[in-house]
Amino acid sequence: MGSGKRSLTTAAMVLACACAVLSAPAVAYASPTPGSTPTPTPSGGAAGARGAGVQDPQAIRKKKDLQAIRLKLDDLYHDAAVATDAYNAAEEKTRQQSAQIVDLAQEIVKGQEKLDRLKDLAGAAARAQYRGGGLPPEAQLWLSRNPQEYLDGAGRVRQGEHAAEGLLAEMARTQQDLEQYAKDASAQWQKLEANREAKAEAQKKIKKQIAAAEKLESQLQKEEKERLAKLEEEAAYKAQTAWLSSGVLAEINGKASDQGKKAVKYATDQIGKPYVWGAEGPKSYDCSGLTSQAWISAGHGIPRTSQEQWKQLTHVDIKDMRPGDLIIYFDDASHVAMYIGDGAIVHAPRPGRTVTIAGAGSMPILGVVRPDA
Amino acid at 19: C
SS3 of residue 336 by DSSP: strand
In 132-146, which ranges are continuous DSSP H helix?
137-143
Question: How many contiguous H segments (helices) and E segments (strands) does the chain have?
Answer: 10, 6
Calculate ∠ Cα 157-159-165, nearest 5°: 105
Q: Which residues are catalytic?
A: 287, 335, 347
* Residues β-bridged to residue 367: 328
236-252 per-residue burial string, b: 16 or more CB within 10 A, e: under 16? bbebbbebbeeebbeeb
354 within 8 A of 272, measured Cβ to Cβ: yes
Beta strands in the chain (DSSP E): 314-316, 326-329, 335-341, 344-347, 356-359, 365-370
Describe the strand order of the beta sheet including 314-316 as a list of residue ranges.
Answer: 314-316, 365-370, 326-329, 335-341, 344-347, 356-359
CB count in 10 Å sphere of residue 192:
18
CB count in 10 Å sphere of residue 175:
14
What span, in angstroms and rounded, lies between the C-alpha atoms of 66 and 48?
18
* Residues β-bridged to residue 346: 338, 357
What span, in angstroms and rounded, lies between the C-alpha atoms of 47 and 65?
18
What span, in angstroms and rounded, lies between the C-alpha atoms of 237 and 252?
20
